[in-house]
Amino acid sequence: MNEILIEGRRLRLRRANVTDLNYIMTLQYTPENLKFIVPFDEKYHREIITSDGSEKLDVIVEEIDTGNSVGYFMLRKMDSPFVEFTHVIIGKKGLGYGREALKLLLKWAFEVKDFHRVWIDCKDYNKIALRLYESLGFVREGFLREILLTNGVYENLIVFGMLDREYFSWQEK
Ligand SMILES: CC(C)(COP(=O)(O)OP(=O)(O)OC[C@H]1O[C@@H](n2cnc3c(N)ncnc32)[C@H](O)[C@@H]1OP(=O)(O)O)[C@@H](O)C(=O)NCCC(=O)NCCS
C-alpha cells in the first residue's frame, strides 16, 4: 500500500517505492530536466526509498484520474525544522502540474508536518522555475556564485526560502 502524503484536485503526492526507481532515474536523466538538476544514482534513491523516511523522502507526483506518475520531488533534512526540496521535476509539463504539486507539497510541509522553514535552490537561468517559486511566495534569499561545475562550466544558484508564518499569511491573501 503506497503511503499518500496529500491529495489535491488533480494530483496526489505519495511516497516512492522501489517500483518507481526506473521512473525517477529516467526523469532525472531526461535532457530537459538534467540541465536544471544534479542527479543522484540509483543506489542513493534505493537507500532513500527503503529507509524509514525520517530524514529523506522520495515523493512521486501522481495523477488521481489515471494513477500515472507525472513528477518527482526529493525532500531532505526532514528530521529538522528546516526541510529542503532538492529535486522538483514534472514530466508532464505545461499543464499547471508543477504549480499544483508544489502547492500541495507546501501545504503538507507547513500544515501537516509543521516545518518552520522550507528551502530550495535553483540555477539562475532556470526562468520557469524561478518565476514559479516566486509566484508561490518563496523569498529570494541568496545567490551562490559559481557553486556548481557542470560539464566544465561554473554555475550560480539562487536560494529561495519560505517560513511558516509567510506561508500562512500567503494563504490569507
Ligand atoms: C519547472 C517545472 C517543475 C515546472 O512544472 P510545470 O508543470 O511544467 O509548470 P506549470 O505548468 O505548473 O507552470 C508553472 C508556470 O511556468 C510557466 N511555464 C510553464 N512552462 C513554460 C514554458 N515552456 N515557457 C514559459 N513559461 C512556462 C507557466 O505559464 C506557469 O506560469 P503561470 O502560472 O504564471 O502561468 C518543470 O518545467 C520541470 O520539471 N522542469 C525541469 C526540471 C527543473 O527545472 N526543476 C526545477 C529545479 S530547481
Residue 156: give its domain's CATH number: 3.40.630.30
Atom index in ligand 1 nearest the CA of residue 92 equals: 7
Cα(1) to ligand 1 centroid in Å equals 31
Q: How far is the CA of 101 from the centre of ligand 1 (A)?
A: 11
Is the distance from CB of 61 to CB of 90 less than 8 angstroms? Answer: yes
Task: Read off the pLDDT of residues 68-82 as tens digits, 9 standing for 90 and up.
Answer: 999 999 999 999 999
**pTM, two decimal places:** 0.96
pLDDT in tens, 34-51: 999 999 999 999 999 999
Contacts of 66 (CB under 8 A, 6+ apart): none
167 lines ligand 1 (CB under 6 A): no
Other Cβ atoms closer than 10 A to 106: 21
Q: Residue 51 belongs to what domain range?
A: 4-172
Count how many domains the chain has: 1
Query: Ligand 1 in contact with 83 (CB < 6 A)?
Result: no
Pairing of strands 82-90, 57-63: unpaired
